[in-house]
Structure 1
Amino acid sequence: MATKAVTDASFAADVLASDKPVLVDFWADWCGPCKMIGPSLEEISEELADKVTIAKVDIMESTDTAAKYGVQSIPLMVLFKNGEPVAQKLGAAPKSQLKGWLESEL
């Protein structure tokens, strides 16, 4: 399963109510580093599909969610478990680092 686009309207159902961990990638179209890690996140979402859902929140469209979680710099990845943010990683990184970080937090 590829990454899932999530909006202000669907955030509660898609992320907070999820029965498995959800990694939320806060991003925007104009963000170069966000675009750089996009393909890596797609691959990780397929490799770890049984363990985690990877969701993408466009901060320009979902301003309420971005504000609620204090997103000031992107790309920002926040891992949610049982509806709570438990870990976060700021900035772009190689796929191996992103996957290693995520696996260590799951």
Structure 2
Amino acid sequence: MSKVIEIEDSQFKSAVIEENQPVLAYFWAQWCGPCRLVSPSISWIAETYSDRLKVVKLEVDASPESVSQCKVEGVPALRLFKQGEVVKSHEGAIGKDKLKEFVEAVV
């Protein structure tokens, strides 16, 4: 079972902004080829850091408000939140090692 939590706009505030622990928000789209390449690494991060990082996944077409709020311009996109604020962001495909570095800077 994946520890990645799928959410939509209506859950964004409670699942991300009001969360006490750091949150990695993964923005993706079904039509996005690079998203399919990144997804296994996102699942790995969710499993590996489950004790200190919450990982949520938002489908961009179904979550336009969150996409706008997080200034997502392309997918896949990552936003790392700490205490309700974006502390790191990345757009485009990312390898497992770089993703690990991206997350470890905050957790």
TM-score, structure 2 normalization? 0.93
For residues 10-46 of structure 1, give each alpha carbon's deviation from its aligned partner in whole angstroms, at most 9, with x where no partner exists: 0001001111000001111001111111011101111
Report 1:95-106 matches (<5 A). 95-106=96-107
Displaced runs of 4 or more, over 6 A: none
Provide the residue aligned with 2:34 in structure 1: 33
Matched AA of 2:69: K
What is residue 77 of structure 1 aligned with on the other side? 78
CA offsets 1:38-92 (integer angstroms, 9 cap, x no match): 0111011110111111111111001111112221111110001111111111111
Query: 2:91 aligns to what?
Result: 90
Between the aligned residues of both structures, percent identity stands at 33
Whole-Å Cα distance in 1 between the matches of residues 86 and 102 of structure 2? Answer: 15
Query: What SS class does the counterpart of residue 50 from structure 2 fall into?
Result: coil
What displacement does 1:101 show? Answer: 1.6
Code of the aligned partner of 2:54: T
Matched AA of 1:80: F
Shift of 1:6: 1.3
Partner in structure 1 of residue 13 of structure 2: 12
Identify unmatched segments of 5+ residues in structure 2. none
Give the secondary-structure state (helix, strand or coil) at the position aligned to 1:30: coil
